[in-house]
Chain A
Amino acid sequence: MPKDFLQDVRSHYDAIVIGSGLGGLTAANVLAREGRSVLLLEQHYKLGGLATWFKRPGGHIFDISLHGFPQGMVKSCRRYWTSEIADSIVQLHGVRFDNPMFSLTTSFDRKDFTRLLIDRFGIEPAKVEEFFNTARGMNFYDDQSMTTGQLFEKYFPGRGDVVRLLMEPITYANGSTLEDPAITYGIVFSNFMSKGVFTFEGGTDHLVKSMEKEMRRNGVDIRINCDVERILVERGVVRGVELAGKKITADAVISNSNLRSTIFSLTGAEYFDPAFIDEAKAVRLNNSSTQVYMALKEGDEIDRNTGDLLFCSTAPEFRTDLLLSRDITSRTFSFYYPDIRPDGKQRYLIVSSTNAHYDDWNRLSPEEYEASKRDLIETTLESLEQYVPNCRERIAHIEAATPRTFEHYTKHVSGASFGTKFEGLAVSRTLPEQVRGLYHAGSCGIIMSGWLGTMNYGVIVANDVLNYLNTQVPAPTPAVLN
């Protein structure tokens, strides 16, 4: 008999969280910490969503999305998780750019970018200051009519090289483009620029396991291999979820699934106003990705000066269509040195990431698909050769992931690896106005994406849910009043 992953599950919870990406995990933890009963359902056999990892023979552990996040993660991990998790966050020092316009290494913070823009790119100091202040002053509710491209044109007209320096890393961080609202750029760029780029010492496996431990301590009922089939709605109010022939009720349901799946697959368009459905249909998904995972043979090493993150491109200029093209000219290499897992085996790994269109990969025949994957691996090695000489002979393991791989593991529509475009945020936020008690806390709107964005969005939504639950059922007595 197959294992019953819902064994001893309760019939009712204050809240059910569907999906265990960083947003779902954090929402579940915040709710449980406030004394609410929480059931967390994850369709995969591992928690973490795209914050994940996989192991290969030879002691290799590959991180999928641990490339670098803003310093704000320290504060968020300390407040919404544990100080142990927050204390494991360390800064990355070597961020490199290499393209036909410029080659440089930076600590990727405001101070160093100011220096580069003035000394290297010849921009007036006052202009640089004004640009940083404008970006930092942006709020998500500000005017959205200006695009990121227009913002750059205003401050650095005709300076494609400056645009590339400022934009390329953000495009890799959250899939945004020059055509997206300038505020999405300003908010995310300023988050990074405040102190630089950080990573998690111990790797994604250690992070997610620490989070699981903390959730159990706070009483979250965690279930893996549990694929929710339906969100149950009655007379405009959420009632719970259905899966594996079971109905489990809850006062609130938080979906950490893709926004479109939440509305159209899990709930059903018939439960929403037609006008809302039109809005939801118009939400554009962000792009997907391809990745190539490479591990060096045991005993071999990569020079530390190679850097932690390398934005490399052979494209003569920076253009959105070039970044997404199947004819890959731009890649981000993440180099993982043994210090990322101080207790692990001494291994050097490289992950190459490229933004990609799902349709470019989905329309291929099985033979074409396999050939394309081999081509992706070949061209990646060709590109890596100039940074890691003789890499072909030095690599012990190599494999590729495509938008179809992302779709398979996350069940995200079209393998979307950065949620939705900006308009998705308003749809996500107004979901509870359509179905009372139903919330979405997944990657959306560009700004609620990436490690910090999704984690903070989980907190924002958990706060809404706590307010809602307080109006539904007697809240637990706060300790201070005891």
Chain B
Amino acid sequence: MTPEEIRQAIIEILEDIAPDEDLSNLNDAVSFREQMELDSMDFLDIVMELRKRYRVQVPEEDYVQLASMDSTVTYLVPKMGQVPA
């Protein structure tokens, strides 16, 4: 997957987790929490969906890497680069 495809994958997960949020104006450089109503269980759900859909393991100590879209994609590129889109 390319960084753009990884971004799209995250968007799809977020759409399922927070169906009421408008993601079209998401600022990739700013933390998700400043732009959306996400709690710690929502972040856990992102991690669980990544494993279910793409078999990516995100250990608990790395959850901080999922703060914003930019940091999430940067973190996932080495893990998801080999995953077919």
Chain A residues with CB under 8 Å of chain B are 34, 72, 75-76, 79, 139, 456, 459-460, 463-464, 466-467, 470, 475, 478, 480-481
- Chain A residues near B51 (CB, 8 Å)? 466-467, 470
- Chain B residues near A481 (CB, 8 Å)? 55, 84
Chain A residue nearest in CB terms to B53: A480
Chain B residue nearest in CB terms to A471: B57
| CA distance in complex: A72, B42 (Å) | 11
Chain B residues with CB under 8 Å of chain A are 39-41, 44-45, 47-48, 51-55, 57, 59-60, 84
- Chain A residues near B44 (CB, 8 Å)? 459-460, 463
Q: Is the CB of A478 within 8 A of B53?
A: yes
Q: Is the CB of B41 within 8 A of A467?
A: no
Q: Is the CB of A467 within 8 A of B59?
A: yes
Instruction: Report if A34-B52 is in contact (Cβ < 8 Å); known contacts: A459-B44, A460-B44.
Output: yes
| CA distance in complex: A467, B57 (Å) | 7
A–B pairs, 14, beta carbons within 8 Å: A34-B52, A72-B41, A75-B41, A76-B41, A456-B41, A459-B44, A463-B44, A463-B47, A466-B51, A475-B55, A478-B52, A480-B53, A481-B55, A481-B84
- Chain A residues near B54 (CB, 8 Å)? 478, 480
Instruction: Name the distance in Å between B23's Cβ and chain A's nearest Cβ.
Output: 18
Q: Is the CB of A478 within 8 A of B55?
A: yes
- Chain A residues near B57 (CB, 8 Å)? 467, 470
| CA distance in complex: A75, B39 (Å) | 11
Q: Is the CB of B48 within 8 A of A466?
A: yes
- Chain A residues near B53 (CB, 8 Å)? 478, 480
| CA distance in complex: A76, B84 (Å) | 31
5 smallest beta-carbon distances between A and B, as pairs: A480-B53, A467-B57, A463-B48, A456-B41, A478-B52
| CA distance in complex: A151, B65 (Å) | 31
Instruction: Name the distance in Å between A136's Cβ and chain B's nearest Cβ.
Output: 10
| CA distance in complex: A75, B60 (Å) | 22
| CA distance in complex: A464, B51 (Å) | 11
Q: Is the CB of B45 within 8 A of A79?
A: yes
- Chain B residues near A459 (CB, 8 Å)? 41, 44
Of the candidates A76, A459, A463, the one having the most CB atoms from chain B within 10 angstroms of its own CB is: A463
Instruction: Name the distance in Å between A193's Cβ and chain B's nearest Cβ.
Output: 14
- Chain B residues near A460 (CB, 8 Å)? 44
| CA distance in complex: A76, B39 (Å) | 12
Instruction: Name the distance in Å between B35's Cβ and chain A's nearest Cβ.
Output: 17
| CA distance in complex: A390, B9 (Å) | 63
Chain A residue nearest in CB terms to B59: A467
Instruction: Name the distance in Å between B8's Cβ and chain A's nearest Cβ.
Output: 13
| CA distance in complex: A464, B48 (Å) | 10
A459-B44, A460-B44 given; name 20 further pairs at CB < 8 Å.
A34-B52, A72-B41, A75-B41, A76-B41, A79-B45, A139-B40, A456-B41, A463-B44, A463-B48, A464-B60, A466-B48, A467-B51, A467-B59, A470-B51, A470-B55, A470-B57, A478-B53, A478-B54, A480-B53, A481-B84
| CA distance in complex: A464, B84 (Å) | 25
Chain A residue nearest in CB terms to B58: A467
Instruction: Name the distance in Å between B19's Cβ and chain A's nearest Cβ.
Output: 10
Chain A residue nearest in CB terms to B55: A478
- Chain A residues near B45 (CB, 8 Å)? 79
| CA distance in complex: A76, B44 (Å) | 12
- Chain A residues near B59 (CB, 8 Å)? 467
| CA distance in complex: A381, B74 (Å) | 64
| CA distance in complex: A466, B52 (Å) | 10
- Chain A residues near B39 (CB, 8 Å)? 72
| CA distance in complex: A463, B46 (Å) | 11
| CA distance in complex: A281, B72 (Å) | 40
| CA distance in complex: A478, B59 (Å) | 19
| CA distance in complex: A281, B39 (Å) | 32
Instruction: Name the distance in Å between B13's Cβ and chain A's nearest Cβ.
Output: 12
Chain B residue nearest in CB terms to A464: B60
Instruction: Name the distance in Å between B60's Cβ and chain A's nearest Cβ.
Output: 8
| CA distance in complex: A33, B59 (Å) | 21
Instruction: Name the distance in Å between A468's Cβ and chain B's nearest Cβ.
Output: 10
Chain A residue nearest in CB terms to B39: A72
- Chain B residues near A139 (CB, 8 Å)? 40
Chain B residue nearest in CB terms to A480: B53
Instruction: Name the distance in Å between B83's Cβ and chain A's nearest Cβ.
Output: 8
Instruction: Name the distance in Å between A478's Cβ and chain B's nearest Cβ.
Output: 6
| CA distance in complex: A76, B17 (Å) | 11
